[in-house]
Chain A
Amino acid sequence: MMDKRGAEFTFDGIGTSWCILTDDGSLREETVECVLCYMRVFNARFSRFLNDSEASAFRNAEAGEYPISEEFATLLSRADELRRLTGGLYDPAVGGLLEQAGYDAAYSMVPRPDVVQFVLPKWEITGQMLTIDGPVVFDLGGMGKGFCIDRVAEILENHNHRHYLVDGGGDMYATTKRDGGPWRVAIEYPGKPDVAVGTVELENRGIAVSDSFRCRWKEWHHIVHPLLRVPIETVIGVTATARNAWDADCATSALFFSDENRCDEVAKFLRSRYLVFRTDGTTRVSPDWDGVLFV
């Protein structure tokens, strides 16, 4: 556990609670400022709840081709890969559907009558050029946070920290502790905040956890089928580990939408290991899962 060189820094960012554990001294003031600044800028640029963000910039746009920032292009390019990997079921253009279902900037949580008529916008990304067929709201949930965690880790590295864990609302990236040992992380059972599924040791890798319980309203939750316009109910949660937090985050999103016989293919693409928690109470376990499970 932590000794006098261990330290903890907590803050709020992109709508959730963050914690940075360091085992090689406290964060200096300039490091803290860099982290907080990055979080503020990331939120301002990519939150679909902000009308002047890049994710919302095409809310009223006409069909056409538009230049976008390098970072947004990086995110949408990965989203495009996930879209292909899941046969179109993971799609950040689902932002409009979430809004019509009530998960909007005002948190109205009341589905609108026209939700059943939602048509998924079409978009393509080539380099830094985005092509759309009309108005589209991008929702980077399921990939943005993991990306952000890795950028925070980069900031720590640039400020000479080598032994740390970055926890972004339950998703994480960790190097090692100062003694070379791993960070030990318990995994929460989907929908059961006081129950651990098992534990996993993080050592220069990331973990992401996603479930459908944390944000439910009426018959909806935040993970929706973009074509059927209904929430996904065959899977209640996914956990994944990967070489970094972004890959782990993307893996949980892709696996949520994947047919069971494609889980291994999806995991392999993202070099990840997984637990898929099914609605029937069983858990599909990646053949190479290396954590402890409490069976």
Chain B
Amino acid sequence: MTFPRTRRNAIIGALVVGVGALLSYRFVPTIVRSIGGNASPQMASGSDLIVAREVSAVATYDAPNGTDKVRFTLGLDSGDAVVAVKSTDALKGDATNENLAKFSEGLLLVIRGKKLSELTSIDRVGKSSLTTAAFNTILPDLQKRL
């Protein structure tokens, strides 16, 4: 496939966002189906996170050389949080090929987030640190001048 990268990104973004939205509404059976319905946890490829189950959707779109189908698979942990994303060529028996591996580089997601106060067992919060003590002291004055 030789899609322009911006178009690829747009397609990937739209697809992943769509899958995410569907997941949020507890799956629409006619569009998304569970593959295998994994009841027992398994290791996610390339990471040490536990995938409790996987769900996937096949997307069809027009490519310059015909119709392409890509299966996007999301690995979910026990809390339904996405811990893995992969794309495979649905026309080739779901075997990941090199082009699709590249295609999946830099996936775009819309991250809704959760309230920090809803999280449990957190040791620290990673965040930008430029709220220096000195900067904070001049903020009120700065706000008056803006």
Instruction: Please count how many residues in chain A sit with their CB below 8 Å of the partner chain's CB atoms.
Output: 68
B contact residues around A195 at 8 Å (CB) = 113-116
The number of chain B residues with a CB under 8 A from chain A is: 51
Chain A residues within CB distance 8 Å of chain B: 1, 12, 15-17, 19, 21, 107, 109-110, 145, 165, 167-172, 183-190, 192-201, 207-211, 213-215, 217-218, 222, 237, 239, 260-261, 263-264, 278, 281-288, 290-295
Chain B residues with CB under 8 Å of A109's CB are 138, 142, 145
How far is B95's CA from A290's CA once the two chains are assembled, in angstroms? Answer: 22
Contacts of A237 in B (CB 8 A): 128
Pull 11 A–B residue pairs with CB atoms less than 8 Å apart, ordered by A: A16-B129, A16-B133, A19-B124, A184-B122, A193-B127, A194-B115, A197-B113, A263-B106, A283-B109, A293-B82, A293-B83
Judge whether B65 is part of the interface by a CB distance below 8 angstroms.
no
- Cβ A165 vs Cβ B114 within 8 A: no
Chain B 78-114 interface residues, beta-carbon cutoff 8 Å to A: 79, 81-83, 85, 104-114
Picked from B77, B83, B126, B134, the residue with its CB within 8 Å of the CB of A15 is B134
A188 touches B126 (CB 8 A): yes
Interface-central residue, A17, A210, A285, A286, by most chain B CB under 10 Å? A285
Q: Contacts A184-B123, A217-B146, A260-B9 given; indicate if A284 touches B107 (C-beta within 8 A).
A: yes
Query: In the complex, which of the residues A16, A281, A287 contacts B106, with contact meaning CB atoms closer than 8 Å?
Result: A287
* Assembly CA distance A201 to B112 (angstroms): 20
Q: Give, as a whole number of angstroms, the nearest-CB distance from A37 to chain B.
A: 20
How long is the Cα–Cα vector from A239 to B132 in the complex, in angstroms? 19
The reply to whether B119 and A186 form a contact with Cβ atoms under 8 Å apart is: yes
Q: Select the residue from B108, B126, B132 with max chain A CB neighbours within 10 A.
A: B126
The answer, yes or no, to whether B62 is at the interface (CB within 8 Å) is no
In the assembled complex, which residues on chain A have CB atoms less than 8 Å from the CB atom of B49?
201, 290-292
Q: How far is the CB of B92 from chain A (nearest CB, A)?
A: 19
> For the complex, what is the distance from the CA of A169 to the CA of B131, rounded to whole Å?
9
Q: Is the CB of A183 within 8 A of B138?
A: no
Residue positions of B touching A, CB distance < 8 A = 5, 9, 13, 17, 20, 23, 44, 46-49, 77, 79, 81-83, 85, 104-117, 119, 121-135, 138, 142, 145-146
Q: Quick one: given A290-B48, A294-B112, are A165 and B123 in contact (CB under 8 Å)? A: yes
Contacts of A16 in B (CB 8 A): 129-133
Given contacts A186-B116, A215-B131, A287-B104, 13 further A-B contacts (CB under 8 A): A16-B129, A16-B130, A16-B132, A170-B127, A185-B122, A186-B125, A188-B116, A196-B125, A197-B111, A285-B85, A285-B107, A285-B109, A295-B23
* Complex: A168 Cα to B126 Cα, angstroms: 9
CB–CB A185/B146 < 8 A: no
